[in-house]
Amino acid sequence: MRQFYETYNDNIKLAPLVREISWTHNLIIMGRTKSDEAKEFYLLLCSKNNYSKRELERQIDSMFFERTMISDKKNQLFITKNPGLTALRDSYVLEFLDIPETHKEKELRKSIVVNIRNFILEFGKDFTFVGDEYRVQVGNKDFYIDLLFYNRSLSCLIAIELKVTDFKPEHLGQLEFYLEALDRDVRKPNENPSVGLILCAGKDDMVVEYALSRSLSPALVADYQLHLPNKNLLVQKLRELKDLAAIEHDEDTEE
């Protein structure tokens, strides 16, 4: 109780937030986060999503704060082009999938569907699952989208294409085709344009930047991993990105 008082008493930004969640959740956040920025992130997230104790612990274990901060900095350019992309990140942790390191797209898709609750926890509770191998018909041919979701806060369909290989530029053409089909034939008049995500086993950030720089479709490329991330590596990566942003800010100020 004393530590709780000392942590939040003089913090006018965080003090109101701690009243919105349970004592148990507060203890977890206070004990397992270091910065005020991280505390605010999990306090807001917990309040918005009504996390259970287990769900909150999972998010902290998976370094959700660090991954989100890194993703936001990496995707800043693309998010500026289309606000709908704010619902997506550049990397996902799928440690809950019971599949071997070497697997096929069919195995990945089926395991995601079986573990859809945990998958939505990783992506965000505003996601609603529409279906897997979702059929769209163009001309006289049928095409199948690996996973289709609806995002309630963005009021749009989100198509996810799964790739068990590294990202290739040609993957983007396939996703853009699906987005066009969704917008023409599936999207309702009151909904925003559909958004797409290519979820692949790996990616080269430079290749992704080149592929997306001229794309007019609201799409992002993310990689996935089947184990919890290395905490030290993520913290170091986030620190490097913050230092780089500070240097760029100082240079802009001097100009």
Region 156-175: mean pLDDT is 97
For residues 70 and 44, state if they share a domain: no
Please tell me the predicted confidence (pLDDT) of residue 139.
95
Please tell me the predicted confidence (pLDDT) of residue 247.
59
**Residue 247: inside a domain:** no
Q: Are 218 and 85 spatial neighbours (Cβ–Cβ below 8 Å)?
A: yes
Region 26-39: mean pLDDT is 95
**Residue 121: which domain range?**
65-231
Please tell me the predicted confidence (pLDDT) of residue 41.
95
For residues 56 and 79, state if they share a domain: no
- CATH number reported for the structural domain that contains residue 148 in this entry: 3.40.1350.10
With a cut of 80, say whether residue 60 has pLDDT above it.
Answer: yes
**Residue 143: inside a domain:** yes
Domain boundary among 18, 38, 61: 61
With a cut of 90, say whether residue 167 has pLDDT above it.
Answer: yes
Give the model's confidence band at 26: pLDDT under 50 very low, under 70 low, under 90 confident, else very high.
Answer: very high
Beta carbons within 8 Å of 133's beta carbon, 6+ residues apart: 109, 144, 145, 146
Distance (Å) of CA 174 to CA 2, 3, 6, 143:
57, 54, 54, 10
Quick: pLDDT tens for 195-214.
999 999 999 999 999 999 98
Domain boundary among 25, 43, 61: 61
Region 164-180: mean pLDDT is 96
Please tell me the predicted confidence (pLDDT) of residue 76.
82
DSSP 8-class letter at 21: S
Distance (Å) of CA 125 to CA 44, 120, 121, 156:
13, 6, 6, 14
The candidate with the shortest Cα–Cα distance to 57, out of 121, 112, 13, 115, is 121
With a cut of 80, say whether residue 251 has pLDDT above it.
Answer: no
For residues 96 and 197, state if they share a domain: yes
Q: Which residue has the higher pLDDT, 73 or 135?
A: 135
Residues of the chain with pLDDT > 90, as a percent, come to: 78
Threshold 0.85, pTM exceeds: yes
**Residue 252: inside a domain:** no
DSSP 8-class letter at 230: P
